[in-house]
Structure 1
């Protein structure tokens, strides 16, 4: 990182990379922040603690994303655990917040342990490219398919965005996603769906919570957070990078996010992990025509993360003002290229096609068992299918 020179980053960057970084931040924060607010309110936290929670997550994500992307010159995007935030909605109420912080620390230590020992790296080396790509395509397809309910509810908005995207895709593909975002914003404003008058300008500030420890909080919060982080975030996140051709070593990524999670836990952060969906926006062809320069999209994402952290209260209000149809549609449009690439790789090998299809279908289904999301179960199903179908074959 010490050898990095700013002019090189600017030379490698592009408008499409900046837009991809912004969309990645937007997609990663909108739904996740809603879950954090729900969890915080369910636990009886005041607005100051919730704002500190968002501040810590956003700044931690910014530092890790920018630092790792510069270190490896590859688009490494770090995000907070959205499934973990959903888990906290039901597990935080009734638990003293200090003990919840202690459980966050235990989860972070487990992540550091897995990263330092290299067990995660060994696991990912054995994962076939077809299953990694099917996992990526399934996760992204589930998100992108939300464009169809949005189309039904706000036809003019979504159709205008799609038209703007397709027209620019024909003549200027690099700016097709930006065109969709601009068209959507204009149509939303003209339709009365966008109200920016109630967005305040307000800085966020962190608040320290001294950790406490209890066995019940560790079992009910810390261990489930660790399992969810590994199954629903880190495995899919590295699969996204590998599926798009980025061979970043897994162990340092996991170790860095674990250390950051540990340091930020007393400020409210429930954990940082590798991003999957938002990473795909930065690793895909819409981010930059040159795969070697897509790391700049991740850096821009980190810059926008930092802005979210500093102006947390203001940007939360801004996200709330944006119509959900616009957010769902721009996410779907930005992910089209990554879904197509993932499916083409997943179905290429005939002997692995059934396993890849099962991985894709289950990952896209959204099913959940024992609090673990569909990405993990899709991967399990694909591996079992490979073993059963190909066991003993030459």
Structure 2
């Protein structure tokens, strides 16, 4: 089967409507703020570096957020999972340095190549086999290392400016202490309100002139250049399969969800083709945003946390249509505000990742994967998350061979039981 069987979208909509709640919507909003406030500016910077016109820059934003939002809505309803389709942020950073050397049409051709290769590997089944043969603790060690910076950023901001971000952290955990109250009033909502009030009291909200304008697409046609494929497609491909998508798979594994691996690669691959028509770079399954929506702030019941991802998809579509005005409006608050909210929303994901990575077998490989991921270094244009899995897996193969034997025996018993 090319793509995993899911649920009826109409039935999922019914479940969503019956179980809609403020916590899920607020968590979707937090994930949206995280993925738009900084990343939107990164894309604008990349567009300016590549000498794109304002219209082409807005079209780029329209593409990544519109297609990402629609794909997120589809995935959340089809699989009832808190999974978010987005775009590669490190890829946008890289493109800021590379785009000046190429025309937009050459870049678009390179984006399409990434989509084609990802699609072929997914349809062939090679991608799923690769992911399924990675020990889960090694995967979770990588996730813990990748997400660590969000926790550090949260507490760094809280310590540097306790009168704003410290109050946000204290209010979040303070509400968590009263479990019955926290079920009615999500801690993340309280943190947002406290943060906005504290920012206003500290005169840290900056007025910005806004102009209302609906985003318009600018059609981008591809040309295929070997140099662009080598310089753009090659590193972007490894960012997509080995840095971005693999994070989201690990996050859902940490939360004990059944992961539709093919769908999490296939849908972004299709999204990449559509993105390219807007002059936008490849779509991915987003690790951090998925982590935010998979946390308890999205709801007490795990099976209903897909509502947070659905809400983020709706917010993304709205952002896409109003990309220009929203990118300007997010300049009103400091970037630390979003960093703290993201860290708070992912707090339970940290706990699950570390518990899954270091509580059982493959702990040495998981620890190596964790440390490699923390470095955030790129070698041969391949990002740290993929190296973390490779080196963690090699470590386990060398020093934890018995764990592989036990794992294989248990899998065999499970298959016999299933028969």
* TM-score tier (shorter): over 0.9
Q: Which residue does 1:186 correspond to in 2?
A: 197
Q: Which residue does 2:182 correspond to in 1?
A: 173
- Alpha-carbon offset, residue 373 of structure 1: 2.3
**Is contact 2:248-2:287 (8 Å) kept?**
yes
1:164 partnered with 2:175: no
Q: Which residue does 2:388 correspond to in 1?
A: 378
**Is contact 2:208-2:332 (8 Å) kept?**
no
Cα distance change on mapping 1:295 and 1:2 into 2, 3 Å: closer
**Is contact 1:189-1:195 (8 Å) kept?**
no
Q: Which residue does 1:365 correspond to in 2?
A: 375
Cα distance change on mapping 1:241 and 1:33 into 2, 3 Å: same
Q: Which residue does 1:45 correspond to in 2?
A: 52
Length-normalised TM-score, structure 2? 0.90
**Is contact 1:39-1:92 (8 Å) kept?**
yes
Instruction: Please list, as runs of the form range in 1=range in 2, the aligned pairs for 1:215-364 lying within 5 A after superposition.
Output: 215-349=226-360, 351-364=361-374
Instruction: Please list, as runs of the form range in 1=range in 2, the aligned pairs for 1:141-152 lying within 5 A after superposition.
Output: 141-152=148-159
Cα deviation digits, residues 333-382 of structure 1 (max 9, x gap): 11111101111111111x42222122122212322222332212221221
Shifted more, 365-374 versus 67-76: the winner is: 365-374
- Alpha-carbon offset, residue 183 of structure 1: 0.6
**Counterpart-to-counterpart distance in 2, 1:30 and 1:138:** 23
**Counterpart-to-counterpart distance in 2, 1:67 and 1:182:** 30
- Alpha-carbon offset, residue 153 of structure 1: 3.7
- Alpha-carbon offset, residue 253 of structure 1: 2.5
**Counterpart-to-counterpart distance in 2, 1:213 and 1:352:** 44
**Is contact 1:154-1:325 (8 Å) kept?**
no
Gapped regions of structure 2 (runs ≥ 5): 1-7, 406-419
Secondary structure of the residue aligned to 2:289 is helix
**Counterpart-to-counterpart distance in 2, 1:14 and 1:359:** 37
Secondary structure of the residue aligned to 1:79 is strand
Secondary structure of the residue aligned to 1:270 is coil
CA RMSD of aligned residues (A): 1.6
- Alpha-carbon offset, residue 152 of structure 1: 4.3
**Counterpart-to-counterpart distance in 1, 2:26 and 2:402:** 49
Q: Which residue does 1:63 correspond to in 2?
A: 70
**Is contact 1:136-1:342 (8 Å) kept?**
yes
Length-normalised TM-score, structure 1? 0.95
Cα deviation digits, residues 101-130 of structure 1 (max 9, x gap): 111111111111122111111112112221
**Is contact 1:121-1:249 (8 Å) kept?**
no
Shifted more, 207-216 versus 140-149: the winner is: 140-149
